[in-house]
Amino acid sequence: MSEALAAARGGRWRAAGRRLAAGTATRVAMVVLALITLLALVGPFFSPWQFDQLDWQHLALPPGRLAAHWFGTDRLGRDLFVRTLYGVRVSLLISVLATLVSLVIGVAWGAVAGFAGGRTDGWMMRFVDVLYSLPYLFIVIILTTLFQRGSIRVLLVAIGAVGWLTTARIVRGETLALKRREFIEAARALGVSPAGILVRHIVPNLLGPVAVYATLTIPQMIIFEGFLSFLGLGVQEPKASLGNLINVGAQEMQSAPWMLLTPAAFLVMLLICLNLLGDGLRDALDPHER
């Protein structure tokens, strides 16, 4: 009987995976995403230029003119191929890490608040509500001006520290809904300790919604970081992020539109793929038992 158990146990996630892979949109999204990531990691090695290297002879060169500068160069003669790919790297790195930070804090906070209930829950969530009523931008702006502007570590902390609020809210809502379900009461009636219930019954049932939320948060983080860099509060020159590349590109768009279009195109592709994946994951993990 134990083999049957082992086989059946993996069944749920495997079934969801199968459903996910079945949709054409999600399949395309996964492929494109993989390609972009691969390109970002490996691509710069194929170019002789560094991301901050200046090529005096080819300032503001449109793309396609020269083999050495595939995507053209910017006003200072820096190769856009390498810079854009670096930007993708930075955006992905920051957003994934920030999502992780916000997940860890948010899930812990929300699950404990929702499970504890009563006054503990009240205070914990009031804290979240107050922070929430300040548009996150303000908090980030405040944080980035408190500390060093542009350091990636600070940026990470700022974005992650704000992102956990929504995660906490969602997780708390889910925990409350779970708490009311009879199988939690049944576990209590069996004599399972509160910690046991939290770990064995609540958190595993949270994983589904949290996974979906995480996949949909990553693109939001990318946008957020891009937004900050666009305003000058995020990644600083000469480091490249999709946000500040677009900022510079917007300023130059009258004369050199490719400086805007290239990073914009990459950003859009990333975001569309991630959103499609997130939607697909949500549909795949939503079987009839819900």
Partner 1 sequence: MLRYALRRIGGIIPTLLVIITISFGIVRLAPGGPFDQEQTLTPVVRANLDRLYGLDQPLTVQYGRYLRGLLHGDFGPSLSQRDFTVTELIAQGLPVSVTVGLGAILLALLIGIPAGIAAASWRNPGADYSLTVWAALAVALPSFVTGPLFALVFALTLHWLPVAGWERGAPRYLVLPVLTLALPVAAYLARLTRASLLEVLRSPWIRSARARGLGGARVLWRHALQPALLPAVSYLGPALAYVVTGSLVVETVFGLPGTGRYLVQGAIDRDYPLVMGMIVVYGALLLLFNLVADLLYGWLDPRVRHE
Partner 2 sequence: MACAMPSTRMSAEASLAGATEVLRLAGLSVSFATVAGSVSAAEEVNLRVVRGECLGVVGESGAGKSVSFLAFLGLLPPNARVAGSAQFCGAELLGAGVRALDRLRGAAIGMVFQDPMTSLTPHLAVGEQIAEVIVRHRALPWAAARERAEALLRRVQVTDPARRMRQYPHELSGGMRQRVMIAIALACEPKLLIADEPTTSLDVTIQAQILALLAQLKREEGMAMVLITHDLGAVAGVADRVAVMRGGRVIETGTVGVILKDPREAYTRALIDSAPRLDPEPVTPRDAKPERPLALALTGVSMEFPVATRGFGRAARLSALSNVSFELHAGESLGVVGESGCGKSTLARAALQLLKPTSGRVVWMGAALGELAAGQLRALRKDLQIIFQDPLGSLDPRLIVAEIVAEPLRVHARELTPDARAGEVAAALARVGLPARLAGRYPHELSGGECQRVGIARAMILKPRLLVCDEPVSALDTPTQQQIVALLADLKRESGLTLVFVSHNLALVRRLCERVLVLYLGRMMELAPAGALYARPLHPYTRELLAAVPIPDPDLQPARLARALPGEPPSPLNPPSGCIYRTRCPHALAVCREQVPAWERAAEAHRVACHLWREL
- Which residues of this protein are in contact with partner 1, per CB under 8 A? 129-130, 133-138, 141-142, 144-146, 149, 219, 223, 226-227, 230-233, 243, 246-247, 249-250, 253-254, 257, 260, 264, 267-268, 271-272, 275-276
Q: Quick check: 277 and 47 in contact, CB under 8 A?
A: no
Q: Which of 8, 45, 67, 195 binds partner 2 (CB under 8 A)?
A: 8
Q: Compute the distance between CA of residue 288 and CA of residue 55 in angstroms, rounded to an integer.
A: 59
- As given in the structure block, the two tokens for residue 265 are 């195109």
Q: Which of 57, 67, 189, 255 binds partner 2 (CB under 8 A)?
A: 189
10 binds partner 2 (CB under 8 A): no
CB of 1 to partner 2, least distance (A): 5
Contact partner, 223, from partner 2, partner 1, none, Cβ < 5-8 Å per class: partner 1
Q: Quick check: 249 and 259 in contact, CB under 8 A?
A: yes
122 binds partner 2 (CB under 8 A): no
288 binds partner 2 (CB under 8 A): yes
| Cβ partners under 8 Å of residue 196, min gap 6 | 187
Which residue in the block uniquely carries the two structure tokens 């020159």?
237
Contact partner, 40, from partner 1, partner 2, none, Cβ < 5-8 Å per class: none
- As given in the structure block, the two tokens for residue 67 are 């083999």
* CB contact burial 220-247 (16+ within 10 A = b; e otherwise): bbbbbbbebbbeebbbbeebbbbbbbbb
For partner 1, which is the closer residue by CB, 50 or 251?
251
Residues pairing with 133 in the sheet = none
Binding site for partner 2 (CB under 8 A): 1-2, 4-5, 7-9, 11-12, 181-183, 185-193, 196, 201, 204-205, 287-289
